Amino acid sequence: MKVDVLLGLQWGDEGKGKVVDVLTPKYDIIARFQGGPNAGHTLEFNNIKHVLHTIPSGIFRENKLNIIGNGVVIDPAIFKKEIEALGKIGFDISKNLLVSKKAHLIMPTHRLLDAASESKKGETKIGSTLKGIGPTYRDKTSRDGLRVGDIEINFKNKYESRKKAHIEQLEKLYNFDYKDQLENLEKEWFEGIDTLKKFKFADTEHIINNALKEGKSIIAEGAQGTLLDIDFGSYPFVTSSNTICAGACTGLGIAPNKVGKVYGIFKAYCTRVGMGPFPTELMDETGQKMRDVGNEYGSTTGRPRRCGWIDMVALNYAIMINGVTELIMMKTDVLDNFDTIKACVAYKVNGVETKELPYELNSDIEPVFVDLPGWKTNLTEVTSEGQFPEALKSYIKFIEKETGVPVKIVSVGPNREQTIIR
């Protein structure tokens, strides 16, 4: 068997959580491979709306194994809150969640360093979720990180020595006032460590590869999106991990030839939260309409998401980088009331038209749009493809033609049921 990978093709928040939950019945194992609590993956079913940050979105289905892979960074304090929130609605997940010993821990001082770095950057800040993601991955690559497996051996000493180094940075590099916050953050963090210890830690790469040999099916759940990838995203306005398909290999310990389907998920339009370039962004009432109808406010930070038309140049780039085999179009219903839908099919850079994503996405880019007719139909109650209005069929055909990849799922609302599989 192979590992199917589901990942975002835009700037995150495409609806990955919803679709992983919908697809989970087809899989035995659901695994997160990168990112951490900067992610907010929303699921809705039976009048429950739930946002997951660290825990894979397969957790609500029975008899499924969920894995937090080595590529993920975990904040125990946030993890504890997630476990408690699940407990409140009657889900005890202690039996169906495994945590990689090689996953790195986000320390309280990583969060403070994130805040210090952003505040030092001032106007050029990234717009980070301030969850400590950047500093934790930085420690990982500089070989100074603290891992889940360390909890079992001489933990307190390792923690204290990392903390000391971070405090030195906070004081000397950033002149950042951390003292008021640290004690509280540490209290919550160590309580989180106690919660984390109740789960099984494992070298999950063995478990995943053995499961493949036994013929079990696995879906890898991406976080963020391709345009936030550390290598291929709109650098430096990106996150600190490889959000692309290759990240599933390094973040779970699977060989590239073990990757099966690659599900690429995108919104029928486009959003971004945080700073950085966004060529098709709408600063006008049309953008505001998308934000209102799509309820475009961050699942992790509550920040308003920037909105704009779909960008086929960026989408095709993401499809190329990831080797996408199937497309999943989300939030289609948000465009229900637009007379005309615009799609960017090329960029004009210094007067020259291109379909390739340039090195720098900046204000010199002028998107070239085509107009497509809106469907002016309430899609939220549509239950089969046969009920799709003609204009929506044309929109899907347009996307398939521009990308050369079939659109296999069309989402028409936040609920599990509002999903049309083609």
**Could you tell me which of 234, 239, 241 has the C-alpha nearest to residue 270?**
234
Residue with tokens 């659109």: 407
291 binds, among ligand IMO, Mg ion, ligand GDP, none (CB under 5 to 8 A by kind): none
Min dist CB 413 to ligand GDP, Å, is 5
Taking CB positions, which residue lies at the least distance from ligand IMO? Answer: 274
Min dist CB 11 to ligand IMO, Å, is 6
What is d(CA 296, CA 275) in angstroms, rounded to the nearest whole number? 16
What is d(CA 269, CA 14) in angstroms, rounded to the nearest whole number? 10
What is d(CA 264, CA 4) in angstroms, rounded to the nearest whole number? 11
Could you confirm whether 41 is annotated as catalytic?
yes
CA distances 285 to 25, 344, 363, 367, Å, are 40, 19, 21, 19
Site for ligand GDP in 388-417 (CB under 6 A): 411-414
Min dist CB 297 to Mg ion, Å, is 11
Cα 294 from chain centroid (whole Å): 18
Chain residues in the site for ligand IMO (CB under 6 A): 8, 11-13, 35, 38-41, 126-129, 131, 133-134, 223-225, 228, 239, 273-274, 299
334 binds, among ligand GDP, ligand IMO, Mg ion, none (CB under 5 to 8 A by kind): ligand GDP
For Mg ion, the closer CB: 40 or 69: 40
221 is an interface residue for ligand GDP by CB under 6 A: no
Mutual angle of helices 245-252 and 204-213, in 10-degree steps = 110
Could you confirm whether 50 is annotated as catalytic?
no
44 is an interface residue for ligand GDP by CB under 6 A: yes
Min dist CB 178 to ligand IMO, Å, is 18
**Could you tell me which of 154, 40, 36, 51 has the C-alpha nearest to residue 100?**
36
CA distances 351 to 168, 278, 312, Å, are 49, 19, 19
Residue type, 246: A
What is d(CA 314, CA 277) in angstroms, rounded to the nearest whole number? 12
The mark string for 314-353 relative to ligand GDP (x by CB under 6 A, - otherwise) is ----------------xx-xx-------------------
Which range, of 35-43, 63-71, 203-211, 392-400, touches ligand GDP by CB under 6 A?
35-43
Q: Which residues bind ligand GDP (CB under 6 A)?
A: 8, 12-18, 39-42, 44, 294, 299, 330-331, 333-334, 411-414
